[in-house]
Amino acid sequence: MECFTDPASLLISAYKERNILPDLDQIYSAFPEDNDDRGDNRNASWVSNHLKYDTLLSREELTLFSKLESSGDLRNISRNTDADATGPLLDDQDIRSTIKSMNASTATVEEQAQALATQFENCSRYTHGEDDRWTTDISDPESPRWKHTIGWQNINAAAGNLTHELEESLKCETDNATVESKRILSWLMCQLTESDKSLANLDRLVSEIRSTGDKLSIMEKVSRLSEVLSEYAAEEVYCRLDRLYLDFIRTRNPDPDDSINKGEIVTTLEEDLESLYLEIGILARMSISQQFNEPILRELQDQHGRECTSSQEILKYVSK
């Protein structure tokens, strides 16, 4: 803002610097050239006292204030008088340690305050009991009043120094407690994260343990289905042999000379078929076991072994 001796020019300059359109007629009417009126003098005095660099907002400050006022943030800032009132939580041990330290400091202050009160009482009693001794000039260094004044000043100085030291000590302890609480909070967060990982591993382990029972039932089911499949395979071979036997009987030309041996041949074939039936059942079970049952059971056992190994590793990790 430019320097003007004329209050009207000073007011107009303040308006223009803040991009406010002034009413020149009203301003010049408030500050006429002949300042004989007492009200005009008051206006000029008010302008000279209040329109200064330290009393007016700058253009940037006025712009920021207008933005805060238009957005409503100014009301929130004015209402939020205790924005930093909350602080981090302290551990019980830290709180007890801090309380113990504060109690010790308070006890020390009380003892010193009691000692100072006793000294003050003694000084007061001495002052009121020896009025005749205070008639000497205070400028005399040997006078009791001079000594009393010096002693009282020393006491006040000592009390002020003690208060300052206590405040600094309390502030230092508070800062240390705050730093320690933040460190403990960070450590707790790390521990909680590790605990969450351990719980997730335990959940997976429990689900794998539960799946073990399902695998046993699957193995039993595989064995049962293998038996059924071996029976079906044996029945298929039985049917093929029976079909061959019937085809052999049907395609055989009747010969009168062979009618005598026909019964023997049929009996022999039937005995061979009976013996083949037993062998076919055993071979069918062996074949189905080799093709289906053993590979499936072997794969289930391998998967169970891998899960057991993984479970052991998880248990070792959790037990740490």
User: Are residues 183 and 203 both part of a single domain?
Assistant: no
C-beta of residue 11 within 8 angstroms of C-beta of residue 47: yes
Is 84 within the bounds of a domain? no
Render pLDDT for 44-102 as a digit per residue (tens, 0 to 9).
Answer: 888 877 777 667 777 777 777 777 777 776 666 666 555 444 444 445 676 677 777 77
CA distance linking residue 76 with residue 157, whole number of Å: 44
The reply to whether 126 and 157 lie within a common domain is yes
How far apart are the C-alpha atoms of 24 and 21, rounded to whole Å?
A: 9
Which ranges of 252-293 does DSSP label H, i.e. alpha helix?
A: 259-288
Domain end among 166, 192, 218? 192
What's this model's pTM, rounded to 2 decimal places?
A: 0.30
Residues 282 and 221 in one domain: yes
Candidates 305, 285, 282; CA nearest to 293 is: 285
Cβ atoms < 10 Å from Cβ of 100? 10
The token pair at 222 is: 């595989």
Average pLDDT over residues 167-192: 88
* Residue 11 placed within a domain: yes
SS3 content of the chain, % helix, strand, coil (to 5): 85, 0, 15
Same domain? For 27 and 44 the reply is yes
- CA–CA distances in Å: residue 263 to residues 31, 236, 249, 256, 277: 153, 27, 12, 13, 21
Residues 108 and 25 in one domain: no
| Final residue of a structural domain among 168, 192, 216 | 192
Burial class (CB in 10 A: 0-12, 13-18, 19+), 42: exposed
Residue 309 has a pLDDT of 78
pLDDT tens digits for range 259-289: 556 667 667 777 777 777 778 888 888 888 8
168 assigned to some structural domain? yes
Q: How many domains does the chain have?
A: 3
Distance CA 312, CA 307 (A): 9
From CA 181, how far away is CA 129, in angstroms rounded? 56
Residue 257 forms part of a structural domain? no
Q: Would residue 299 count as lying in a domain?
A: yes
d(CA 135, CA 144): 9
Q: How far is CA 122 from the centre of its chain?
A: 59
Residue-range definition of the domain harbouring residue 63: 7-73
